[in-house]
Structure formats: C-alpha cells, structure tokens
Amino acid sequence: MNNVRMAAASRNLFLFLFAAFLSMPLIIVAGVSFNATRRMSFPPQQWSLHWYADFFGDPGWMGALELSLFVGVASALLAASAALPICYFGWKYMMRLTTVLTGLGSLPFMLPPIVLAVVFLVFWSLLGHVGQVEDLVIAHGIVFMQLPIAAMALGFRSIDRALIDAAGTLGARDEDVFRTIVLPIVLPYIVSGALFVFLLSLNEYIIAQMVVGFAMETLPVKIFNSLRTGFSPSMCVGAVLFMLVGLVGYSLIAWIGDLPKLLGSESAK
Amino acid sequence: MTLVSPPDLSRYARFVQRTGRLGGRWVLAWPAVILGIFFVIPFLLLLRVSVAESGFGAMGNGGFTAASYLAAFQNDVFVYSVVFSVVLAAVVALISIAAGFPFTYAITRMSRRAQVCWLVFVLMTLSLSEVLITFAWQVMLAKRVGISNLLVWLGLMAEPVSLSPNLGAVLACLVYLVIPFTVLVLFPGMSRIDPQMAEAARTMGATPARTFFTIIVPIMRGPIVTCLMMSFIVGIGSYVAPMVLGRPEHWTVAILISKAATASNDMPLASAMSVLFLAVASVICLIIYRLGVRKV
C-alpha cells in the first residue's frame, strides 16, 4: 500500500514538473507583455496594458496579423475542400485513385519544412510568380492537407453503414443521403480538420519566410524579424495572442468534436 | 472512365446501373489537380533544378550536371551540419520519448475531462510557432528575467547570467518543440491499452514500476518506433531554435539550405542539398524502423 502511495506521489510530481516545463516559457512571456517599462523584467514591476495598446495601434503588427489570419482561413478552406472529396469517395467506393490521393495528400506533412520551402520557392520562381499571397495559401493548403484528411477519414469511418442502407431502401438518392445523413455526421470532423490547418498555418514560419518573406510578413515572420533587430515587448503581445488563439481554437475543436477520438483514442470513457 | 481502375469495374457497373451517372466523381478532379500541380510537379522540378548547371539565373542554366551534389559533398560545413543535425535530432528524440512516454501513460489513465484539458494544452504548445517558442526560451534564459534569477533566489547560483547561446539552450528548446509530437503519436496506442492488464499484474504482486516496464512498454513497441521517427523528423528539420539559441557551430542543415537559397541565391545548390537532406533523413528513419521491427 505504501508502494502504491509512493507511486501516486511520484506520478503527481512528474506531472507537475512536466506541466511546469511546458508552461514556464509561456508564463514568462505573458508576464513580460504586461510590463509597464520597455526593459524586460519578470515578474512585472508595474502592471500595464501599454504594450497591448501599442500592438493594436501599430499598422505594421496589425497588417501582419491580418495577413496571417487571411492565409490561415484561405489555406484551411483549400485543404478542407480538397480533403472532403478524397475522403468521401474513398469511403464510398474504395477507389485506387482515392488511395493514391490520400497518400499524396498526407506525404507533404511528413517532409522537413525546409525541403518544402525550397520546393515551393523553386516552383513559383520558375513560374515567375513570386511573393504573392496565393503562393503561401497554396503552400500551406498542401502542406497541412494531411490533417483534414485524417480527421475526415475518421468521421466517415464512424458512420453506421446500416443507416445508408436503410436510406437507400427507402428510396433516397445519393445526394439526399449525402445531405441528410453523411454531412451532419461528418461535419464536426470537417470543421476540426479545417481548424487544425488554420492553427498550424497561423504559426508556420520557415515556408512563409522563404516563399513570400521578401515581399510580405506574416505574424511569425514579423516576430522573427523583430527578434533579430532587438527586443520589444510588443513581440510578447503577439506571442500571447497566439497562445490565446491556440487555446480557443483547440477548446473549440474539443467542444464541437470528440478530441480524444480525433487524436486516435478508441475507448469512449 | 479514366477515373476507374480495372478492379473497380464491377463496383462501377453496379453504381452506374443505380444512378446512371458518374455520381459526382468528377469532383475528385479538384484534389487531383491541386495535388498534381502544386505538389507533384514542384517536387519533380526540385529534382530537375538540383542537377541543373548553376550560373547566372537563380534557377541555373539548364543542362545536366552533378556539380551541385559534388559541391555539397565537398562543403565541409554542410557535411558537418548534416552529421550534427542527425546527432542533435537523435538526442532530442530520445529525451523527448523518455519524458513523453510516462506522461502520455499518466494522462490516458485520467478521467475524460482531465484528458481533454491536458490535450488542449499539449496541442496549444504543439502548434505554437517555432519562432514563438524560441523567443520564449530566449526570454527565459536571458540575464534579466530568466531562470538564472530563480536559481540565484534559491541560492544555487551567485549571480544571474545569460544562459544562451549554447548547446544546452538549443537542446532544451528542441525538446520543448518535440515533446507535444511524441505525446500525440503515443496517445492513440496508449489509450487503447486495457487497464485490466495493469491491474492483473498488480494483483499478482508487481510494483507499478515493474508493471510499467514489463507490460506497458512492450505493448507500445510499434508506437514507440513511429514516435522516434516522427520526433527525429521534427528535430532534424529545426531551424529557428539552433539559429537563435545556438552558436554557428550548432547550425542545422535547414539553416544552411535556406542560406544557399536566399542569401547566395544558388537554387541548384539549395535543391541538391534538400535532396541529400531528404535522403539522409529517410535512410535514418528506415534504420529506426528496421531496428524496431527486428527485435520483436
């Protein structure tokens, strides 16, 4: 019994240390962002929202934020719109084409980002179409397509085939079945998949830097560039913003979808 | 008709009989075109450019030559950075799995609500940009605000110091980047382990530690191998952390490739380096996979 209690105590200590390791940098950055003075200090000597006003009043930061949000939304729509037919027809007919497309759509996510950055840089340079927003949207859409594919495949697999058969027996056409049965069941997975793409695109750095970095700055690129020119607490505000968006985004996914299941857990506790 | 491969003909016939149409399968043209034009063709172009003669256009002069590959091989800095990146990624992967494995096990034994909270937290740190994480670590290791102040306060250090740039800072930051991936790769397999197995071991007198090492770890062999590969890939591709927190001798391949592509504007060289890098990463993943399979 003593052994079990010891194990529980050491487990809790381990969990605490783990959480501390993961949250310490975030806490310090958040603390610095609430500081009244320009000099870094933690804990803040004087609390102030000065740097938040600074951040939201600066056209440079706001422009970067807008660009990041636009690229995130557009690439999420692109990736989800391409993943949906792949998963739908893959689920319905098991065609060889859908298998190939699933593989192709999942592959970029496994490659090192620097290689993808060079791939897209070479491609757009050869086309003579460099430094455009759509270059980055397409690049992110392709790179993160694996996430909606995986999420949607899971959603389609969770549909009870008996429902489809019953609808067919009752005379529903394929379109009706898709609209009234398939879509409502799969919708949470579609939304989660798109949200994953949005959140990863928002935070992606190296591809954004190499493909369009010389023409425009997304938020991570701007933070990196200011990192090199010197410290400013506005950067911490940008970082806090990212944490909040991530926290809200994933809580949203957990709320609309089944997060443990999306991540691969099968047991419903 | 081209959409249908031979083995599917019977299915297709049945389907056409029922609806008399392609059933909207033309929609598949959308992902096929997107992936073809924007992934397959660009990738082939990378291979093409890597064997082009470098010269005055950024893309080289066309032609076929292995000069860029030779240049990469003869470049000591590049070869050193490949070796360094591999070792660094391997160390990071091992540390991450050593910490992430027991953590994942612990959260899969929690209630569903607690699991969701931990997962949201882990996912948030996972998607945080490498730039942000590096920046956060830089702040944390700085002389004025960082953990050295905490150590001074605890009496472990005489005065606050700056803890970067050095290899330790790079390692800590990379482990931070990789751990969420290890947790998410291990999570599915771990959450499917039947809790009764551990209970059975315990009723037969095994200590929790013994149960963990003799029951849980062997069951998770497959996911551990996948996890090592995944962590390795994330680590070997790191860019910002070594650049900001390390010294030039800690620079990874990614930094050199990006310098070749943007600073020297030598696309054939950057492409050749990318291909070599990809080849090295693939071979090592294959080795990890083989090692993992053989011992079963």
Q: Which domains does chain A have, with CATH numbers?
A: 60-262 (1.10.3720.10)
Please check whether residue B20 lies inside any domain of the structure.
Answer: no
Instruction: Please measure the distance between the N-terminal and C-terminal CA atoms of chain A and give it in whole angstroms.
Output: 27
What pLDDT does residue B21 have? 53
Q: Which residue out of B49, B88, B127, B262 would a mutagenesis test of the A interface target, given it has the greatest number of A Cβ atoms within 10 Å?
A: B127
Q: Which of A176-185, B13-22, B66-75 has the lowest mean pLDDT?
A: B13-22
Per-residue three-class SS string for B90-130: HHHHHHHHHHHHHHHHHHHCCCHHHHHHHHHHHHHHHHCCH
Q: What is the DSSP code string of A114-154?
A: HHHHHHHHHHHHHHT--S-HHHHHHHHHHHTTHHHHHHHHH
Half-sphere exposure of B74 (CA within 13 A, CB side): 7
Please check whether residue B76 lies inside any domain of the structure.
Answer: yes
Percentage of chain A modeled with pLDDT above 70: 92
> Would the pLDDT of B215 be above 90?
no
Asked whether A207 and A122 are in contact (CB, 8 A), the reply is: no
Q: Which residue of B has its CA nearest to A25?
A: B136
Contact A28 B146 (CB under 8 A): yes
Q: What is the mean pLDDT of residues A56-81?
A: 91
Please check whether residue B10 lies inside any domain of the structure.
Answer: no
A119 vs B35, B43, B106: nearest CB: B43
Please check whether residue B222 lies inside any domain of the structure.
Answer: yes
CA distance B21 to chain A (A): 11
User: Which of A237, A222, A236, A219 has the alpha carbon at shortest distance from A52?
Assistant: A237
> Would the pLDDT of B10 be above 60?
no
Q: Which of A79-83, A90-94, A104-108 has the lowest mean pLDDT?
A: A90-94
What pLDDT does residue B5 have? 42
Q: What is the mean pLDDT of residues A77-83?
A: 95
A122 vs B42, B99, B281: nearest CB: B42
Q: What is the pLDDT of residues A217-251, one digit of tens each?
A: 998 898 888 877 777 777 888 888 888 888 888 88
Q: What is the mean pLDDT of residues A183-204?
A: 88
Please check whether residue B267 lies inside any domain of the structure.
Answer: yes
Q: What is the DSSP letter of B143?
A: T
Q: For residue A150, list chain B residues with Cβ-Cβ distance below 8 A.
A: none
> Would the pLDDT of B95 be above 90?
yes
Selected residue with higher pLDDT from B247 and A232: B247
What pLDDT does residue B16 have? 46
Q: What is the pLDDT of residues B254-269, one digit of tens each?
A: 999 988 888 777 888 8
Q: What is the pLDDT of residues B23-72, one digit of tens each?
A: 677 888 899 999 999 999 999 988 888 888 776 555 666 677 777 888 88
Selected residue with higher pLDDT from B289 and A77: A77
What pLDDT does residue A207 have? 93
* Residues forming beta bridges with residue A35, ordered by sequence position: A47
Please check whether residue B26 lies inside any domain of the structure.
Answer: no
A126 touches chain B (CB under 8 A): yes
Domain range holding B151? 68-294
SS3 assignment, position A213: coil
* Token pair in block for residue A32: 């610095």
User: Which of B132, B146, B118 has the alpha carbon at shortest distance from B176?
Assistant: B132
What pLDDT does residue B145 have? 65
Please check whether residue B61 lies inside any domain of the structure.
Answer: no
Q: For residue A254, list chain B residues with Cβ-Cβ distance below 8 A.
A: 116, 119-120
What pLDDT does residue B58 have? 58
Question: In total, how many domains does chain B have?
Answer: 1
Burial (CB < 10 A; 0-12, 13-18, 19+), residue B75, is middle
Q: Which of A88-97, A117-126, B158-167, B179-188 has the lowest mean pLDDT?
A: B158-167
Please check whether residue B47 lies inside any domain of the structure.
Answer: no
Sole residue written with tokens 């609806």: B19
What pLDDT does residue A36 have? 67
CATH label of the domain that carries residue B196: 1.10.3720.10
* Residue A54 confidence class, pLDDT cut points 50, 70, 90: confident
Q: What is the pLDDT of residues B132-178, one digit of tens each?
A: 888 888 878 877 666 676 677 776 666 666 666 788 889 989 999 88
User: Which of A49, A10, A100, A31 has the alpha carbon at shortest distance from A239?
Assistant: A31
What pLDDT does residue B93 have? 92
Side chain identity, residue B83: V
What pLDDT does residue A3 have? 67
Q: How far apart are CA A190 and CA A178, in angstroms?
A: 14
Contact B133 A108 (CB under 8 A): no
What pLDDT does residue B23 have? 63
A257 touches chain B (CB under 8 A): no
What pLDDT does residue B274 have? 92
Q: Which of A56-65, A95-104, B8-17, B228-237 has the lowest mean pLDDT?
A: B8-17
Contact B135 A223 (CB under 8 A): yes
Side chain identity, residue A187: L
ipTM value of the model? Answer: 0.82
